[in-house]
Amino acid sequence: MQLSDFPVTPVQQSRLSQVDFDNLGFGAIFCDHMFSMEFADGAWRNPEILPYQAIPLEPGVAMLHYGQTVFDGYKAFRGVDADVRIFRPEMNARRLHDSCRRLCIPAMGVDEMRDIMINATRQLIELDQDWIPSRWGQSLYIRPLVIGTEATLEVRAADSYRFLIMTSPVGSYFTNLEKGVSLRVEDRFTRAASIGGLGAAKTAANYAASLLPGYESRQQGFDQVLWLDGNEHRYVEEVGAMNMFFKIGGKVVTPPLGGSILPGVVRDSVLTLLDDWGMPAEERRIGIDEVVDAFRAGEVEEMFGAGTAAVICPVASIGYKDEVFALASASPGELTQRLYDEITGIQYGKLPDRYDWTVRVSVSGRASTG
């Protein structure tokens, strides 16, 4: 499918001049255009690019009541050579496809989903290229969303859907990246069921379940929640929007994908790099008591989260029950920094893309300041 395959209705008046690129925040501003496609009468149809706008939804739309909706998130970066690079979008397309299947949304084929997503993203980037920020750490966040649009109060899969892709210029998700974030271990509430639940799908319910514990964590002075398994509240799962890694006694460990955590794209990238660097991570269950014991023994060397929003985010401390376990040094550990430098280096075109991770879009205009 070629770029020109999607018809475009351009905006009459761009909103770009209203954007303060010094204060982007995360996901509060949307670019001029969005991609849209519909599912009706048993088929996906009408792919097009439109001005970003409100969409009509009846109050009786079942998705608003029962949550039949999935989304994903990936980024495009303005490189040091001015080209824009989309980071591993084919993995997000596969995950969106898998999320659709789990939520009983009629999925396109994986290849079709990938082609539509990548072409729509390219076309949006070309149209809204002046929206792509050029400072180091800034990027264009891309958010595909699929929602059921049928108005019915019956609890069943909808018979009509809308697939949208919107884009948003963003700064860093966390503001205190250098000194690292603090996590509170949640041992009362559960993000996703351990077996057979929705945890591996990127769907609203998992994030809804996280809101109250997230609020309570911030009330107690922590940045994010560290989730434990839903069965015993014993094994580390993941953070709000990141997969979790520990370096303990010289070894890197991360929880395995078992259906309850999100299969992160950055997680996969970290595992690939660590393999290549001759320090493969152990993918295994990590009890929170093991982490606590390692802290007491002085063996926890580094902790970091991996996710699209923050890329690699150093974790400085963990609060569990009434204790806070903090790393000795406030600055990111050597491995954390190396992974951050390598992945962002590839994303911004500073380092060679040895794994063919990026999809390049040539646009006119300024290079990143990275």
Q: Which residues bind ligand PLP (CB under 6 A)?
A: 73, 238, 241-243, 262, 264-267, 306-308
Q: How far is the CB of 9 from ligand PLP (least distance, A)?
A: 30
Give strand ranges (E) for the chain.
33-40, 43-51, 69-71, 74-78, 84-87, 139-148, 161-170, 181-186, 224-228, 236-239, 242-248, 251-254, 282-283, 300-307, 311-320, 323-326, 358-361
Label the pairing between strands 161-170 and 300-307. unpaired
Q: How far is the CB of 98 from ligand PLP (least distance, A)?
A: 12
Shorter beta-carbon distance to ligand PLP: residue 148 or 240: 240
Q: Partners of 277 in the beta sheet? A: none
Shorter beta-carbon distance to ligand PLP: residue 122 or 267: 267
Task: Report d(CA 117, CA 94) in Å as an integer.
Answer: 10
Shorter beta-carbon distance to ligand PLP: residue 190 or 243: 243
Shorter beta-carbon distance to ligand PLP: residue 79 or 264: 264
Q: Partners of 86 in the beta sheet? A: 76, 359
Q: How far is the CB of 196 from ligand PLP (least distance, A)?
A: 18
Q: How far is the CB of 356 from ligand PLP (least distance, A)?
A: 18
Label the pairing between strands 84-87 and 74-78. antiparallel
Task: Report d(CA 109, CA 17) in Å as an integer.
Answer: 39
| CB count in 10 Å sphere of residue 100 | 21
Shorter beta-carbon distance to ligand PLP: residue 73 or 213: 73
What is the full DSSP assignment across 234-263? -BEEEETTEEEEEEETTEEEEPPP-SSS--
DSSP state of 362: -
Q: How many residues does the chain have?
A: 370
Q: How far is the CB of 294 from ligand PLP (least distance, A)?
A: 23
Q: Partners of 145 in the beta sheet? A: 71, 164
Shorter beta-carbon distance to ligand PLP: residue 306 or 335: 306
Residue with tokens 């072409």: 119
Shorter beta-carbon distance to ligand PLP: residue 147 or 306: 306
Q: How far is the CB of 63 from ligand PLP (least distance, A)?
A: 19
Q: How far is the CB of 57 from ligand PLP (least distance, A)?
A: 24
